[in-house]
Structure 1
Amino acid sequence: MVRWSRITILFVAATLTALVIPGTATARYVVEPMTEEYTGEMHDFEEITFWDLPPRVMLLHCMLTVLPACFFPGELLYFLSILLPLGFRRVTRRTVLDDDFRLDLYRQITDRPGASTRELRELTGASRGRLRYHLDVLIREGKVAAVDYRNRARHFARNQRYTALEKRIIANLRDETPGAILAHLLRSPGATRNEIAERLGLAGPTVSWQMQQFEDEGIVTVDREERTFRYRLSTGAREFLNKHQDLPRPVGHRGTPWWFLPTQGREVPSE
């Protein structure tokens, strides 16, 4: 078997190239005299932006810019370590409450379970973007849970254990109208729609709509044996409200806190 040396291979390749492209070996240059006189005027160069470059040149430019960083990971880590003292650091579950604003926000949620985003904005005075960012951090690190209830986000601290029914009750307690209705049912079980509307100054359709929501959520039961429907708290809702009457609640109608009940401090007997 004949072995070809490198020099022989290069010689053969050059010969074949000259045969395939004869113009490269026989090309001639024609020199002609200049017909126009050189004026000597200077012309400004036209500026070309990066986006005017051909795609191949743009790709080459990006590669030359990015690739050097890939070959020097040590220098890149050193640069990032310089930024750490300037305030850039990774938030973990252990350090999530080191920020003063997040700590205050977490305490607000702990003291006011079921608080909405709007309520938290009023309590903290933060902008929407700043509040949304810190809420996302607390949720991501497992400190806060967000529950979607009637198209509104409700926030609970993870260390406070509530059932799904209890979370729905707490969410209603933080709103004026449903909270006032639940308070009335707690002290006046078996009330009719007209009695609730007259006592709280609400419209009849408003009470009917709220009662339908409560019934679907398992908070209220309806006695339909009589011609006039009578509403009562479910067993779970009544026990929870009797046990947690110290939960913060909104101000009710006519400026009176709705949890100021004649039965406050003692349980309403079940029927």
Structure 2
Amino acid sequence: MGVKNLAGNTRTLAFLVLAFVLVLPVMAIETGGYEVRPAYSLSPDDTSRDFIPASSTSPFAGEPEPQPIAYSDLPLAVLLVLAIAGTCTLQAYLLRLFVPGNLPLISGLVKLHRKELLVNASRNLIYRTIRENPGINPSEIERMTNLTNKNVAYHLNKLLDYHLIVDVKSANGKGYFRNSSTDSSSERMLRLHSKNPTERMIIAILSSNPGISRKEIGSIAGISGPSVSWHISRLEKDNIVEKIREGTIVHHYIKEGFKGLSETLTGIQQTGSVYEESLRSSLNPVE
């Protein structure tokens, strides 16, 4: 991890140095150098004391026209000042890159170490919130932590940069998870869809009753056919559900990679058994 980050930082530094070397000549061309002119009439006050008035008797009247001065004609001290001023951003980046900890003389420059990442109270709170609520989205984090949108976004990016968390995008939006090898990508995706009550209901029904039709799903869940189709399309988009047509009937199944996972999520298995009983009642109505 450290070698990878160092390699990335080295490439970034090399790019910045190259950019500076290429841009410096362009800056010189654009400015056209410096132009020195006599100080006639620079100040309307006290010209007799501070300046020689411009007139035909002025000792500078016969001087040639002012000429531009190239960078190479400037004194060394001026060149050094310009070089330092022009490379301030690069110097600040180098300090941040190679000097650990806080730099009190340069406000805002901090080089974080992974072990120090959760020392920040707000970042630690966000991390714990994600760990305890897998699949949580930024709006939910803001509500649960009482932090601002910008604050949450900043700390989420830090946690992502240091690989403490991962973000997963689904048809229902983005959710955040703790970066753990115990969670598969399929389980994370299923968790995101299970946050929606209707989709959790549909997943439970399909887990207990593979091959069920849209009409049967709507009858058990108590929702309309178009609503079933809308939620099924989102589950299908993220490869959780597949549809197989047999004649005029379309059968719905949980895809192979998600079979069994639904039962590992809190409440899915219990919910599925309740819907299964409801299904039996709907398919075998009392005469």
What range is the shorter-chain TM-score in?
Answer: 0.5 to 0.7
Q: TM-score with structure 2 length normalisation?
A: 0.55
2:153 is the alignment partner of 1:132: yes
* SS of equivalent residue, structure 1 residue 114: coil
Q: How much does 1:216 deviate?
A: 4.3
Alignment: residue pair count: 199
Counterpart among 196, 221, 238 of residue 175 in structure 1: 196
Aligned partner letter, 1:94: K
**Aligned residue for 2:271?**
261
Contact between 1:165 and 1:217, CA under 8 Å: does it hold in 2?
no
**Aligned residue for 2:165?**
144
Contact between 1:114 and 1:156, CA under 8 Å: does it hold in 2?
yes
Aligned partner letter, 1:246: T
Q: 2:218, 2:258 → 1: CA distance? A: 21
**Aligned residue for 1:166?**
187
Counterpart among 93, 103, 126 of residue 124 in structure 2: 103
Counterpart among 233, 245, 259 of residue 265 in structure 2: 245
Give CA deviations for 1:186-237 in whole Å, capped at 9, x if unaligned.
3443332122223334332231133233334332233422533232223432
**Aligned residue for 1:230?**
251
2:122 is the alignment partner of 1:90: no
Tell which deviates more after alignment, 93-102 or 150-159.
150-159
Gaps in structure 1 of 5+ consecutive residues: 1-40, 44-53, 248-257, 265-271
Contact between 1:220 and 1:232, CA under 8 Å: does it hold in 2?
yes
Counterpart among 173, 177, 201 of residue 156 in structure 1: 177
Residue 63 and residue 129 in structure 1: after superposition, are their counterparts in 2 closer, same or farther (change >3 A)? farther
Aligned partner letter, 1:192: S
Residue 123 and residue 160 in structure 1: after superposition, are their counterparts in 2 closer, same or farther (change >3 A)? farther
* SS of equivalent residue, structure 1 residue 106: helix
Percentage of matched positions with identical amino acids: 23
Q: How much does 1:154 deviate?
A: 1.8
Q: 1:104, 1:245 → 2: CA distance? A: 24
Residue 88 and residue 204 in structure 1: after superposition, are their counterparts in 2 closer, same or farther (change >3 A)? same
Q: Which has the higher helix share?
A: 2
Residue 64 and residue 189 in structure 1: after superposition, are their counterparts in 2 closer, same or farther (change >3 A)? same
Q: How much does 1:143 deviate?
A: 0.3
Q: 2:225, 2:258 → 1: CA distance? A: 23
Contact between 2:201 and 2:271, CA under 8 Å: does it hold in 1?
no
* SS of equivalent residue, structure 2 residue 114: coil
Contact between 2:102 and 2:110, CA under 8 Å: does it hold in 1?
no
Q: 1:81, 1:196 → 2: CA distance? A: 59
Give CA deviations for 1:78-105 in whole Å, capped at 9, x if unaligned.
9x97618x99642221111111221121
* 4+ runs deviating over 4 angstroms: 54-57, 59-63
Counterpart among 214, 223, 230 of residue 209 in structure 1: 230
Aligned partner letter, 2:271: L
**Aligned residue for 2:12?**
none
Contact between 1:93 and 1:142, CA under 8 Å: does it hold in 2?
no
Q: 1:113, 1:81 → 2: CA distance? A: 33
Q: How much does 1:149 deviate?
A: 2.2
| Alignment RMSD | 4.1
* SS of equivalent residue, structure 1 residue 261: helix
Q: 1:229, 1:148 → 2: CA distance? A: 28
Residue 42 and residue 171 in structure 1: after superposition, are their counterparts in 2 closer, same or farther (change >3 A)? same
Give CA deviations for 1:51-94 in whole Å, capped at 9, x if unaligned.
xxx9999x998963763898xx9xxx89x97618x996422211
**Structure possessing the higher relative contact order (Cα contacts under 8 Å, 6 or more residues apart):** 1
Q: 1:127, 1:61 → 2: CA distance? A: 46
Residue 192 and residue 151 in structure 1: after superposition, are their counterparts in 2 closer, same or farther (change >3 A)? closer
